[in-house]
């Protein structure tokens, strides 16, 4: 310690006086504010930058400047992403020439795992999604994968269209339907989130309802579904208590839930929690960890 004090030009007495000094009110408030920023950032799936974060905090009664929000987000490693329905793609895919880099990456990924006939469908126009020419390829597909993006755009584009009808038909004939992030949300009947910083969690958009009566929430913090430790978990449970016909499925980061009929299997390092207010009103009634197999009807 003496050598370190000499290197930094401070006395031992000065160092220990600094150690004994009480944490200032400003630092205490910074810590409290940063925790709230992390909660708001998570509830909006990482899409809030400092301007929207500042407005959200001010709506809750915080008196905070943009510069302070930027500093606290930067120190917490929070950087907003701006998603689209399919990240990195134009409004319309080119009819000729090379594929966009995002599609090239996905093609390499699937072909490296044995896929031999990969076709990409992409639109943000409901009229296109509801056209026979767009969905024709789905009738001969063995599997369909939805990448992540923005669930609002996916729901508003595909809900109630021929795409929804053909995806359900794919499952009935034994095909595979896989989704990631926003795509996983769209599998359920409802997207549960906050439509504004001042409104409680509720239905923002309606999904494809491939999983009837289910609301899927991905990217959940690894808190084992414990009530009181995660705002999303607490808010989903509060909603389901008053909407008992809906089941909640919360999926942690880098974790997959595989459903074959009523049989469920979890892959990856995290866990999946299932909420059914008719079975438990105080927390998830079921928690599945990696490798777990469970019949959800039991």
Q: Is 102 helix (H, G, I), strand (E, B) or coil?
A: helix
Tokens of 280: 């438990």
Comparing C-alpha atoms, which of 180, 177, 228 is closest to residue 45? 180
How many helices, marked H, and strands, marked E, lie in the chain?
Answer: 12, 11
Distance of alpha carbon 225 from alpha carbon 266, whole angstroms: 15
Cβ-proximal residues to 148 (8 Å cutoff; 6+ apart), any chain? 83, 87, 180, 181, 182, 183
Q: Write down the pTM of the prediction.
A: 0.65
Tokens of 199: 């409104």
pLDDT at 6: 64
Domain 101-295: which CATH class?
alpha beta
pLDDT tens for the chain, residues 1 to 298: 666 666 566 677 766 666 667 667 888 888 899 989 888 887 776 667 777 888 888 888 888 888 898 888 888 877 655 444 454 455 566 556 677 777 788 888 888 888 778 888 888 889 999 999 999 988 888 888 887 777 788 888 899 999 999 999 999 999 988 888 888 888 889 888 887 777 788 888 888 898 889 999 888 876 544 555 567 778 888 888 888 889 899 888 889 999 988 899 999 988 998 998 888 888 888 899 888 888 887 7
**Could you tell me which residues are beta bridge partners of residue 14?**
none
Domain boundaries, the chain: 2-75, 101-295
CA separation, residue 34 to residues 31, 74, 106, 111 (Å)? 5, 10, 36, 43
CA separation, residue 45 to residues 192, 226, 275 (Å)? 12, 20, 20
């Amino acid at each position: 310690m003496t050598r370190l004090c000499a290197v930094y030009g401070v006395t031992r007495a000065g160092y220990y006086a600094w150690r004994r000094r009480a944490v200032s009110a400003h630092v205490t408030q910074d810590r409290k504010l940063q925790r709230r920023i992390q909660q708001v950032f998570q509830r909006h799936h990482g899409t809030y930058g400092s301007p929207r974060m500042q407005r959200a905090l001010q709506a809750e009664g915080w008196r905070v400047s943009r510069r302070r929000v930027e500093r606290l987000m930067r120190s917490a490693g929070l950087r907003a992403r701006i998603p689209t329905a399919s990240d990195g793609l134009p409004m319309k895919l080119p009819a000729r020439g090379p594929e966009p880099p995002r599609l090239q990456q996905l093609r390499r990924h699937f072909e490296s795992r044995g896929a031999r006939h990969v076709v990409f469908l992409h639109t943000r126009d409901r009229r296109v999604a509801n056209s026979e020419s767009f969905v024709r390829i789905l009738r001969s597909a063995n599997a369909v994968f939805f990448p992540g993006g923005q669930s609002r755009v996916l729901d508003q584009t595909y809900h109630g269209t021929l795409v929804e009808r053909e995806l359900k038909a794919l499952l009935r004939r034994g095909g595979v339907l896989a989704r990631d992030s926003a795509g996983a949300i769209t599998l359920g009947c409802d997207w549960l989130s906050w439509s504004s910083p001042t409104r409680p969690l509720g239905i923002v958009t309606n999904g494809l309802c491939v999983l009837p009566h289910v609301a899927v929430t991905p990217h959940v913090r690894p808190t084992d579904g414990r009530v009181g430790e995660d705002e999303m978990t607490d808010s989903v449970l509060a909603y389901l208590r008053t909407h008992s016909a809906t089941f909640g499925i919360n999926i942690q980061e880098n974790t997959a839930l595989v459903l074959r009929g009523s049989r469920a299997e979890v892959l990856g390092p995290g866990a999946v929690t299932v909420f059914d207010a008719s079975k438990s009103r105080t927390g998830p009634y079921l928690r599945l960890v990696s490798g777990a197999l469970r019949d959800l009807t039991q």
